[in-house]
Structure 1
Amino acid sequence: MTLHIETPLIESRALSLKTGRDILLKLESLQPSGSFKLRGVGFACEEHKRNGARRFVTASGGNAGYAVAYAGRELGIPVTVVVPQTTSERAKSLIRAEEAEVVVHGAAFIESNEYARSILTDNDAWLHAFDDPLLWAGHATMIEEIARQTERPDLIVCSVGGGGLLAGVIEGLRRVGWSDTPVLTVETEGADSYNQALKAGTPVTIAGINSVATSLGASKVAERVVALAKEHPIRNCLVTDAEAIQGSVMLLEEHRVLTEPACGASVAALSRIPEYFPHAQRIVVIACGGVGTTSQQLLEWSDFYPLDGDLFAARHSAESNSLDSLKS
């Protein structure tokens, strides 16, 4: 018995028609905590409980904090979540609803994180939001499920914040014998810590986060995912906030699934497949979920960050023009 559930893998007829490819969605938004985070967090919390932990402590005002709070309540272990002052009232309310203690400290995550580490006692277990092999092991189970649900895909698409999901995806691909299946990772332009790390060849701290996709807003990625880019076929792409928002709007309209723009970014990245993996036909998108966005907020963002035309039509038009110019 695990804290996470096995999620459906569904065909997206709408996205398949728009892209001319076979698009499958792994609906991690259906996890009890609303995102994939519960896989790794649940696995880690169960391990820490077996080792005698009397309290779980984490720093996160988002999906990781909510997942730890959920896991703690399910396992009967008290939880303390330290959040920065910028954390929304909605996020704090969701975490408190899982009977966790919420401590507000610091203007930014780095200060919250330092404080959370400072209050640890010998009886506490520390839960990192993304940089922990226990988390990666838990996240890997989604690939094992995919292997049971369908034949081998040509490509996996997933969003990258700090890198926990990506590390889990690669571990999962290795577990099921799909080690050479490529991965297209996705960030928004204002939260591109992985993009900058890949350019530098090592994790770097970016100056700030300037994106509505705040769940992608790790200022520095895990060292492991930079190393993985040298071991596994990974390509990274950037999308705009407007494109990420439109990706989430498409999931809401076509599949009745509400997600954060951090998830919508992966849907938007399907428009880049001809550029990065032109021969990929059967594609699995990790719909990672997220509880930080309401339907009203998503629609307001859609109005505030309008796209000039259809996301996929605009890309296909640009690609066709580029091909025509090469032929002439």
Structure 2
Amino acid sequence: MLNEITESWDRIKSYIKPLPLYYSNNFSEITGADIYFKLENLQRTGSFKIRGALNCILKNQDKCRGGIIAASAGNHAQGVAFSAKTLGIKAVIVMPEFTPMVKVSSTQSHGAEVVLHGQSFEDAYKHAVQLGKERGLHFIHPFDDHDVIAGQGTIGYEILREKPDIDQIVVPVGGGGLISGIAEYVKGFNPDIKIIGVQAEEAAGMVSSLSEGRVVSLSSSATFAEGIAVKQVGKLTFESCQNCVDDLVTVSEREIALAVLEYIERAKLVVEGAGAAPLAALLAGKIDVKDKMTVLVVSGGNIDVTTISRIISRGMTATGRFMTVSIILRDVPGALTSLSQEISRLQANIHQIDHIRNDQRVPLSQSRVNVSLETRGQEHIDRIMERLSSLYEIERLV
């Protein structure tokens, strides 16, 4: 596989963006380690998927002349669509109905026909296979294809070409194509380099499969990190992970969301949920990085703006920088002013205030005020709650 991946890189190198490793001073200092990012969120189409798609199409041009079809929740779709447009080939992409609009519109902007079908990747996959047979289109699998895996493995080639003395590489895992390609190359180059995979707890298909020693199908893959929301991993990728991956860990939705926020605040990077999974594992203490040189593969940056907004809100709440409290006030002139002054003395900033005077659960002589505050940590919140509780009837909402 080592030679195949090297040949794949020669095949696709003129089409992809060169992305050197980025050393993170912030996260290196936080962890007491050397942390590097492989920023595939800055790759053309915003993710690593272009690598596998290009390699598969370029290697199988005779099969692809009549057009190609793919199923994807987004990043593979854009990779295939971009590759097809670049190489002058017709592309049809089947996407689940829940796919964020940013990914749908980006795929269409590359000239592909988009078909929205089903509630999951598996629904879209089955429809794409059938549609491909009906229209005579060559199917490009998002992960369980030898040539796609080899294309993704070019990331491993680039990492070790630049820094061959790396200790470990941490990779997000959905269907397993990315980690399989990287692991196949890295272990062929130096078996002592550790390969660690990270899955969302709600879509841990590879973890379950390796635990049972066979490919299993999950009943659900409900994670906002849709790039790794896969119910069933591939046969090829399962075997590769069995042979080449040193460890697999899982991260919660909250941990992924906090990692997305950390990328925005500390690294000034926009990273989607799947791409943030390795950092989530690192920050949650699930990976040993101390005194090691570690590369985190940031697999993509195609995240919907509304999702970013929700993540920022939840992240600020989780880290004690935002709270919402419901307060019962006497419905008399000056009551709201007094409350605002008390909050000012507590050095909290009012983000939003809703004065509800017709709440049926509150006596006519009183009103309810919901106040959202910007705060400076959990100790600050505790101090605010203690003071306001001594003055008013209150309830913490968020």
Please report the TM-score for the alignment, with normalisation by the length of structure 1: 0.87
Residue 63 of structure 1: how far off its partner (Å): 0.5
Task: Structure 2: give runs of 5+ residues left out of the alignment.
Answer: 1-12, 322-398
- String of CA shifts for 1:151-193, please: whole Å, max 9, x gaps: 3211110110000101111122145x12231111111211111
CA contact (8 A) 1:22 1:281 kept: yes
Structural RMSD (CA): 2.1
Code of the residue aligned with 1:158 in structure 2: it is V
User: By how many angstroms is 1:298 displaced?
Assistant: 1.6
Q: 1:264 to 1:196 in 2, by over 3 A?
A: same
Corresponding residue for residue 153 of structure 1: 166
Corresponding position: 1:187 with 2:176: no
Query: Structure 1 CA distance, aligned partners of 2:150 and 2:227?
Result: 21
| Alignment deviations for residues 203-223 of structure 1 (CA, whole Å, 9 cap, x no partner) | 111111222111111001122
Structure 1 distance, partners of 2:124, 2:173, is 21
In the alignment, the residues of structure 1 paired with residue 254 and residue 51 of structure 2 have an alpha-carbon distance, to the nearest angstrom, of 29
Which residue pairs with 1:260 in the alignment? 272
Determine the structure 2 residue equivalent to 1:173: 186
Instruction: Give the 3-state SS of the residue equivalent to 2:170 in structure 1.
Output: strand
Question: 2:301 aligned with 1:290, yes or no?
Answer: yes
Q: Is residue 2:208 matched to residue 1:199?
A: no
Instruction: Tell me the CA shift for residue 304 of structure 1.
Output: 2.8
Q: Deviations over 1:76-107 (max 9, x none)?
A: 10100012222233322111111100112233
CA contact (8 A) 2:205 2:233 kept: yes
Which structure 2 residues correspond to residues 239-250 of structure 1 after superposition, within 5 A?
239-250=251-262
Query: 2:145 matched to 1:139?
Result: no
58 and 136 in structure 1: CA distance in 2 versus 1, 3 angstrom threshold: same
Q: How far, CA to CA, are the matches of 1:16 and 1:144 in structure 2?
A: 23
Tell me how far apart the structure 1 counterparts of residues 114 and 245 of structure 2 sit (CA, whole Å): 40
Q: In structure 1, how many angstroms separate the alpha carbons of the residues matched to 2:28 and 2:42?
A: 21
How far 1:8 sits from its partner (Å)? Answer: 1.9
Shift of 1:19: 0.6
Residues 229, 80 of structure 1: CA spacing in aligned structure 2 closer, same or farther, 3 A cutoff? closer
- Does the 8 A contact of 1:191 with 1:213 survive in 2? no
Deviates more, 1:53-62 or 1:74-83: 53-62
Contact 1:203 1:220 in 2 (8 A): yes
Any gaps of 5 or more consecutive residues in structure 1? 311-328
AA of the residue aligned to 2:22: I
State whether structure 2 residue 64 is matched by structure 1 residue 59: no
**Structure 1 CA distance for aligned equivalents of residues 136 and 14 of structure 2:** 23
Q: How does 1:38-49 map to 2 (within 5 A)?
A: 38-49=50-61
User: Which of 304, 307, 317 is the matching residue for 2:318?
Assistant: 307
TM-score by length of 2: 0.72
Contact kept, 8 Å, 1:136 with 1:171, in 2: the verdict is no
Change (3 A) 1:101 1:16: same
Please tell me whether Structure 1 or Structure 2 has the larger radius of gyration of its CA atoms.
2
Whole-angstrom CA distance in 2 between matches of 1:153 and 1:280:
11
Shift of 1:240: 1.3
Match of 1:10 among 22, 26, 32: 22
Give a deviation string over 1:23-55, Cα, whole Å, max 9, x none.
011111111110011111111121222555220
> Cα–Cα, structure 1 residues 51 and 108, in superposed 2: closer, same or farther, change >3 Å?
closer
User: Matches of 2:312 and 2:45 in 1, distance apart?
Assistant: 25
The alpha carbon displacement at 1:61 in A equals 3.0
Higher RCO (Cα < 8 Å, 6 or more apart)? 1
